[in-house]
Amino acid sequence: MIEPESPISVVDESKPNEEPTKRVGVWFIASYALAYMGIFLGLLTPVIVTLFLKLDALGDGHTQTNLSLVLGCGALFALVCNPLFGKLSDRTTSRFGRRRPWLLAGVAGAIIGLSVVAAAPNVAVVLVGWCLVQASFNAALAALVAVMPDQVPTNQRGMVGAFLGIGIPVASTLGTFLVADLPGIGLKLIVPALISAMLLVTFALTLKDKVITKEQVTTRYDLREFGRSFYINPKKAPDFSWAWLGRFMLFMGLSYLLTQQAPYLRGHLQIDIADIAKLIATATLVQSVVLVVISLAMGPVSDRLGRRKIFIFVSAIIYACGLAFVALAPGYSVFLIGMAITGAGQGVYLAVDLALVTDVLPSKETAARDLGVFNIASALPQSLAPAIAPLFLAIAGPGNWVSLFTVAAIFAAVGALAIIPIKGVR
């Protein structure tokens, strides 16, 4: 039973690193899920549609190469900034809390970055703006994800994680439909960002954030500590390391479908450039409806059974099957079937992913730092996938999309196998 609660903007002065035991209420879950969705609305809409359209509008004849460059460099900023700002969030002693300042600063920086992208006269300026967007949104994301172990008890994490998980496909669907009907690249970039800002600010101002004092920060922030923001010793945290590897391989599979839809429809299915935004919106809707239904069903089931691993294992296999459909699609209708199957796989995965990793965190004291390291597993593929996509597209002839999505399916299947050795959860 979810208890209602009053959305009062206060800070929580209880011990910040104690495991939470009080069940969270309806307002918290709703505002938390909407804030999480908001970040990905601002971040994924350009990745799926708008950056491709912006770069194509610049008209230098190298749209695919430029897209790989911009997405790859932006993902590198995400890779560095998520654990870095996560560590800084863990150490923040502001009287307003340790998560709230980074939520607000992150969304402000993202709006500035997207404004730069919208006004960019060339690829170089697009690149600078997008790197600022990735740095800013990942600063906010690091703080936002850390709210889970801060506030949510273990026996609610599957349910809350499921609501967070469906925020990603909802953001993708809303973003693609929103930009399909907006005039001009500028509005297509800025409107989703403004909605994102509204949702994040609402959550930040109503969050009962935990406060720490300078005396509670027990380690110096030196060069060695900076380096630890990006690495956790697998020997000291084997379960966390296997979970990291599983997510990395799964997100390698996810990233190809996420970043290559527009070029795939244009190059493989020969879709006219004017129809791409609407067809991506339709495909994303199909995928997301399946994902949401599956995720909301599987999260509570995982809590009741007390099991996480089997859900993630099955999700990766389903997703790999969906990618195989996409790889072999002779037309748009079969592509939609493949998208529906990938939605089912993602739904199972996102229902329990955050619950699993928060169950195997090495330390409560460094939750945001550790989750930042974990998020490298989703950020790094966004850099690697576009960078090495041309290699797979060149196999068996130029533009071989079958080889690309087949490799993506293999990545997802290997991600399933990496979950098996985890011992700390069932």
Domain count, the chain: 1
DSSP 173-235: HHHHHHHHHSSSHHHHHHHHHHHHHHHHHHHHHH--EE---GGG--S---HHHHHGGG---TT
Q: Is 31 inside any structural domain?
A: yes
Instruction: Output the pLDDT for position 6.
Output: 42
E runs forming strands in 28-171: none
E runs forming strands in 193-276: 209-210
Give me the sign of the Cα torsion angle 111, 112, 113, 117.
positive
Higher model confidence: residue 201 or residue 72? 201
Q: Is 377 inside any structural domain?
A: yes
- The pLDDT tens digits of the residues spanning 157-169 come to 777 877 887 787 7
Residue 217: how many CB atoms within 10 A of its CB? 15
**The domain containing residue 64 runs over which residues?**
11-212+220-419
Higher model confidence: residue 197 or residue 375? 197
- Quickly state the pLDDT bin for 269 (edges 50, 70, 90): confident
Structure tokens at 370: 């550790």
Q: Is 424 inside any structural domain?
A: no
State the pTM of this model: 0.69
Q: Is 76 inside any structural domain?
A: yes
- Quickly state the pLDDT bin for 127 (edges 50, 70, 90): very high
- Quickly state the pLDDT bin for 241 (edges 50, 70, 90): confident
Q: Is 389 inside any structural domain?
A: yes
Q: Is 6 inside any structural domain?
A: no
| CATH code of residue 296 | 1.20.1250.20
Q: Is 2 inside any structural domain?
A: no
Instruction: Output the pLDDT for position 5.
Output: 46
**361 φ/ψ angles, rounded to the nearest 5 degrees:** -60, 140
**25 φ/ψ angles, rounded to the nearest 5 degrees:** -105, -175
Give percent of the chain with pLDDT exceeding 70.
84
* Res. 252: pLDDT tops 90: no
CB 210 within 8 A of CB 89: no
CB 316 within 8 A of CB 293: no
Q: Is 5 inside any structural domain?
A: no
* Res. 426: pLDDT tops 80: no
* Res. 314: pLDDT tops 80: yes
Instruction: Output the pLDDT for position 4.
Output: 45
For residue 115, the Cα-to-chain-centroid distance in whole angstroms is 21
